[in-house]
Amino acid sequence: MNLQEFLNAYRAFGKAEWENVVEGANKDLNLFDETLYALAAESEKRTPVIKRALVEHHPEVARYRRRIEDFEGYPKDDMLTLSRAMRTDVMKLMELRNMAAQNLGYHDYKDLDCEQSRIHEETIKDRLQEVVETHASKAEALIEKHKMTWESWFQDLRELTAFEEALNPQDIVEKVVETFGFTKLRDVLSIHQDEQGIAGFARKFSDRDIRIAGRIIDNASDLKTFIHELSHAILYAYNTPKTLDDFLLPANDEFLANLLETVIAKKVCTQTQKWMIQKVDTLEMIRMSLSGLFELDLWNKVKTPEERFVHHYERLMPIKHPEYWSLDSFRSVDPLFIQYYPLGRLAGKNMLVIIDQEGLEGTELGDWLYDHLINRATEIELASFL
């Protein structure tokens, strides 16, 4: 198996996933998993991306993950019924991931992930706890003022930061290109918008074809998400693996997209947009950090997820049903990715301080980001930003 063969299978999978999620196609993704798993299994070199594929595309892992992501076959009468129905499968998925990681010689799946991100678990916990403390009082005030609940959270975020009219995504891309000089985006990027569609999605079909999908941008939450997907697109536009050792892994991808998103939002948004983004950010930072802390408890094999879920979230708001834990927001991304969102944003805020100190602006800043982050995305030491 060579790099090109694996890359082709990897992109074919990403393309099929895009077609299902964005275009409503009905491709059998299990077939793509099987191909990727078989290629990874026959690879002599156990590079990080090969190890990842041996877990994520393991037929059983993939089957459970997909069922949970798509809420496939569960009763969806209400959130409580759904969360109860999913509980066993969510636990089973964690067990399957652990087994697949153990086959590769790891203690569990979390160890594999920590090795790949090269951020120590204790560092992750400490930083997430700090984020919670930093944002708690402001977040509590916003939650109370806007009567936000766990159940209505994402809709609340949109409503409380609504714009008078929707923004044109092409204008945002052009502003980013003009500000930073990321001119490649003009040639390779296409945008799919959908009123009811998924919040955000980015895929690389080929070096010349990168796509992002998202909602109509009529509030600060969806503006932030659009800039987030655009940040993924920048990473994809300027990075193509040259060897099997050189893939952009989920930890680096998410961490750096969040970092770039924070810098880009600061430099291209208007004052009013920035003020609203700040609200979204305060609320998201704390919820994602609590979600990350809760999930680390889960991977450390707590016997009572319900109790830990309430323990973490009650810091923020009352939880009506502890059973909701199986629907926690990390489910909508992917287990063990959620912490890279708040950590990446924290790194973005740290980086903005350096950028200001150095007096970097415009294309000079764009070049600097390219040299320090974008061009080194696969090898970069994430922990050095925290």
| Binding interface with Zn ion (CB under 5 A) | 257
Q: Which two tokens stand for residue 124?
A: 């992750």
Number of neighbours of residue 236 by Cβ within 10 angstroms: 23
* C-alpha pair distances (Å), 250 with each of 48, 299, 314: 11, 18, 29
CB of 257 to Zn ion, least distance (A): 5
Q: Which is nearer to Zn ion, 261 or 323 (CB)?
A: 261
User: Minimum distance between the CB of residue 109 and Zn ion, rounded to whole angstroms?
Assistant: 20
> Which of left, alpha, beta for 301 (phi over 0: left; psi -120 to 50: alpha)?
left
Q: Give the Å distances, CA to CA, from 183 to 48, 81, 316.
A: 31, 49, 42
3-state SS assignment for residue 125: helix
Residue nearest to Zn ion (CB): 257
- Least distance to Zn ion, CB of residue 251, Å: 11
Least distance CB 228 / Zn ion (angstroms): 6
Provide the 8-state DSSP code for 331.
Answer: G
Q: CB of residue 288 vs Zn ion: minimum separation in angstroms? A: 12
| Pairwise CA distance, residues 86 & 89, whole Å | 5
Beta carbon nearer to Zn ion, 33 or 254? 254
Q: Which is nearer to Zn ion, 61 or 257 (CB)?
A: 257
Q: Whose Cβ is closer to Zn ion: residue 248's or residue 257's?
A: 257
CB of 373 to Zn ion, least distance (A): 15
Torsion of CA 273, 276, 280, 281, to 10 degrees: 70
Minimum CB distance to Zn ion smaller for 127 or for 203 = 203
Kindly tell me which of 255 and 324 has the beta carbon lying closer to Zn ion: 255
The two three-digit tokens of residue 285, written as one number: 């930072």
